[in-house]
Amino acid sequence: MRNIITSLLLSLFTILAVSAQVDRSQRPEPGPAPVIQLGEFESFELDNGMKVIVVENRQVPVVSFQLTLDIDPVFEGDAKGYVSLAGSLMREGTANRSKQEIDEAIDFIGGSLSTFSTGMFASSLTRHQETLLELMSDILLNPTFPEEEMERLITQNKSGLATVQNDASAMAANVSRAIAFGPEHPYGEVTTEESLDNISIDQVRQYYEDHFKPNAAYLVVVGDMNVDEAKEVVEQYFGGWEPGEVPTRTYPTPEPPEGKRVAFANRRGAVQSVVMVTHPVVLPPGHEDAIKVSVMNSILGGGAFSGRLMQNLREDKGYTYGASSNIGTDRLVSRFTARTEVRNEVTDSTVTEILYEMNRMINEPVDDSSLELTQNFMTGSFARSLESPRTIANFALNVERHGLPHDYYVTYLERLNAVTVEDVQEMAAKYLKPDQSIIVVAGNQDEVTDKLIPFSATGEVEFYDAFARPVEEIDLLPAPEGYTAETVIGNHIEALGGRTKVESINDMTQEMTASTMGMEIQIKVYQKAPHFVLQKMEMGGMTLSQQLFDGDKAVVVSQMGRQEFTEGPEFEQLKMNAVMNIVMTYKEHGIEKELLGIKPTSEGDTYKIKVTYPSGDQSYDYYNTETLMKVKTVKDESMTTYDDYRPVEGIMMPHRITQEAGPQTLEMKVDAITINSGLERELFVIE
């Protein structure tokens, strides 16, 4: 032990001695930028105009082929989605093979093959390259675009779109893109169910006929193959591809708004807001400002954790787990975007801080240490990317497609490390437009929108649906004079069958079925006055979960185990769920209610009532103004709807209940309701 301590002391003295010889008052001079040694690549061109880039890599016996079309984007109009569909459908069958035969052939060689609207990608072991290329060329040259497969893909796409209604991130992405690029630009188009319904197989086939031409294509070959071998196989499998004229298109360049715009998409009951600040930017690949702009953006909110948005919104304010910004390059138009997710109550404060950081980048020079840290981070990221042969291939492709200098990537780090503090501030002033930004928020309309009005140059908030279609804000209409929450609920009870009948319910059993992921779920709910409830969920004879409140404790049993609660939110929620006919005993249980007004909806006008529980939790109940039935309850980020009311022993009961929580939706069909069957107290026990 004594020797160990002695060694540690000697090491310490050595460190101190060396430190004493270093003048810490002077910042070390930066060393020269690292010299980049890019991997070798070669290129050639077929007689039909297809350009081929070869990156040889013999380390593993694998080869890949990436075909990329160099074409202008297509404005799809009221059939948005057909371009993407054309790319997907190419793989769904050829004149020589069915989809199943293609799938089986790829699986047999352990390869991969995918198609998309601007090309295709395939890879396999080297010994299977001929089979792979035969499949690839067959799909490229002989697609049949089967109509039945198109209908299947459209149905799949519609299913995916159904989740957007409950996904605030997807809503904000749709709205921000549509407004930033505008309705006349292809980048501003958003796919909807209606646009999918407008797609015809003729449009899909015509897109392929117009754009899949070798003279508009680049083929990048990476892996266990040299240029001579590539020339032979590429000529064999793609030399017969006929060239042709490819359409060219131009579009007006989107401009930032004259003043700040505020756009809002309503996510019912959301407790968080997705906040985006965006505006269009013109920054083509290889532009002389591109590297300087990327450094500026990294300091603001790029990949490093030290980004100012992250430090402000997460580390200082504690508003969010993450915040970022991005400025891309594109030969037509790109955009700046800052993005985060925060609690409802700090949504407006978050917008303030994002705009503040954008202005600070413009008005204040960054410090030397922040610049150096960012440059080091970007240098490391670039160096790591060079470990992949595909990076070299993409570099070569970019040089060819965008007309970049041939040493563009060789000198990248030299130019990166030459960026100065003055450059960063100049780029911020040139490319950041805080006063001409589009502020997009997706969240809870009732709690957030009023706070956003001050940010708008016009003093107005623009409202959009989940697919960026303008909608009018639906204000609450005043309830009839003298109407209160008690009036609405009293009328509701009478419409159910009358107070006497409702009070006569001592116990009730509901049996329901629902389906999810192709499996049928059985749900049983047993309830007994005054406050006992047992809920069981089963699938295929196996119990998935049970929830119980027995008057004293709440019990939850699931595949994850058993939990018991005698206090806390889970306890309070099950306690309230257990109360029989709770709508008649709100006051007794300390529940406050307030009639907010009449809410027009697509299903008709509804009375909107705010319900506040003793725990502080709130929900909103909606009662149809004509039938007086409860049609919806919204709480936090979930919504439950009730419809298909039918009489059960003289009392109106809903026979279809739909629950939405986030992107998940569960529709339950009520198969049977039994009232006053004499449920025993012993039922409400989970061993």
Q: What does the pLDDT read at residue 4?
A: 32
Q: What is the pLDDT of residue 6?
A: 30
The answer to the question of residue 116 being in a domain is yes
Does 206 share its domain with 266? no
**Judgement on whether residues 190 and 295 belong to the same structural domain of the protein:** no
> Both 380 and 465 in a single domain?
yes
How far is it, in rounded angstroms, from Cα 632 to Cα 641?
4
- The reply to whether 37 falls in a domain is no
Q: What is the pLDDT of residue 602?
A: 58
DSSP letters spanning 333-395: -EEEEEEEEEEGGGHHHHHHHHHHHHHHHHHSPPPHHHHHHHHHHHHHHHHHHTTSHHHHHHH
Domain with 622 in it: 485-683
Angstrom distance (rounded) from CA 314 to CA 350:
10
**Positions of the chain with pLDDT lower than 70, given as ranges:** 1-39, 303-304, 473-475, 516-518, 601-603, 636-637, 661-664, 686-687
392, 489: one domain: no
Kindly state whether residue 246 falls inside one of the protein's structural domains.
no
Reference 109, options 68, 61, 67; nearest CA is 61
Is 174 contained in some domain?
no
Per the domain annotation, does 22 fall within a domain? Answer: no
DSSP label of 253 = P
Residue 288 CB partners (closer than 8 Å, separation 6+): none
The total of other beta-carbon atoms located within 10 Å of residue 568's CB is 10
Give the domain CATH number at 524: 2.50.20.10
Other Cβ atoms less than 10 A from the Cβ of 478: the count is 10
How buried is 23 (Cβ within 10 angstroms: 0-12 exposed, 13-18 middle, 19+ buried)? exposed
Domain presence at residue 501: yes
Residue 519 φ then ψ, to 5°: -110, 145
CATH code, domain carrying 128: 3.30.830.10
- This prediction has a pTM of 0.71
Number of H helices, E strands in the chain: 20, 26
pLDDT score, position 306: 80
**Same-domain pairing of 384 and 408:** yes
From the list 492, 133, 430, the residue with the least C-alpha distance to 281 is 430
Tokens representing 374 are: 């960012």
Buried b (16+ CB within 10 A) or exposed e, 539-567: beeeeeebbbbbeeebbbbeeeeeeebee
- H or E stretch including 19? helix 2-20
User: Distance between CA 637 and CA 574 in Å, rounded?
Assistant: 18
Range 493-498 contact pairs with CB under 8 angstroms and sequence separation of 24 or more: 493/583, 493/584, 494/628, 495/627, 495/628, 495/629, 495/652, 496/629, 496/651, 496/652, 497/647, 497/650, 497/651, 497/652
| Nearest C-alpha neighbor of 551 from the set 457, 683, 684 | 684
Cα(90)–Cα(205) distance, rounded to whole angstroms?
Answer: 10
Give the pLDDT confidence score for residue 667 in this predicted structure: 86
Same domain, 493 and 606: yes
Q: Do 357 and 304 share a structural domain?
A: yes
The vertex-388 CA angle with 384 and 393, nearest 5°, equals 120
How many degrees, rounded to 5, is the angle at CA 681 between CA 675 and CA 683? 80
Q: Are residues 220 and 272 in the same domain?
A: no
**Quick one: tokens of 57?**
């890599």
Structure tokens at 369: 């240490």
pLDDT of residue 390: 77
The answer to whether the beta carbons of residues 546 and 557 sit under 8 Å apart is: yes
State the SS3 of 97-166.
CEHHHHHHHHHHCCCEEEEECCEEEEEEEHHHHHHHHHHHHHHHHCECCCHHHHHHHHHHHHHHHHHHHH
217 and 326 inside one domain: no
Distances in whole angstroms, Cα of residue 632 to Cα of each of 187, 298, 516, 518, 620: 37, 45, 22, 26, 8
| DSSP tag of 443 | E
In angstroms, the CA 353 to CA 347 distance is 10
Beta-bridged to residue 523, according to DSSP, are 512, 537
Residue 33 located in a structural domain: no
| Region for 331 from its dihedrals, namely left if φ exceeds 0, alpha if ψ lies in -120 to 50, beta otherwise | alpha
Are 87 and 207 contained in the same domain? yes
Domain boundary among 439, 471, 503: 471
Q: What is the pLDDT of residue 12?
A: 30
| 556 and 675 both lie in a single domain | yes
Q: CA nearest 438: which of 168, 188, 270? A: 188
d(CA 66, CA 136): 10
Instruction: Show the tokens assigned to 257.
Output: 């708004």
Percent of the chain with pLDDT over 90: 65
Q: Taking a C-beta distance cutoff of 8 angstroms, is the pair 97, 104 a contact?
A: no
Distances (CA, A) of 162 to 159, 279, 483: 5, 28, 37
Last residue of a domain, one of 446, 471, 496: 471
Into how many domains does the chain fold? 3
Structure tokens that stand for 354 in this block: 């994002």
Q: Where are the alpha helices (DSSP H) in 259-346?
A: 290-301, 308-310
Measured CA to CA, the distance from residue 241 to residue 250 in angstroms comes to 27
Supply the pLDDT for residue 540.
80
CB 669 within 8 A of CB 516: no
| Last residue within a domain, chosen from 437, 471, 505 | 471
Q: Is residue 249 part of a domain?
A: no
Q: Which of 308, 325, 326 is nearest to 317 (CA)?
A: 308
Distance of alpha carbon 172 from alpha carbon 654, whole angstroms: 34
Q: Are residues 324 and 457 in the same domain?
A: yes
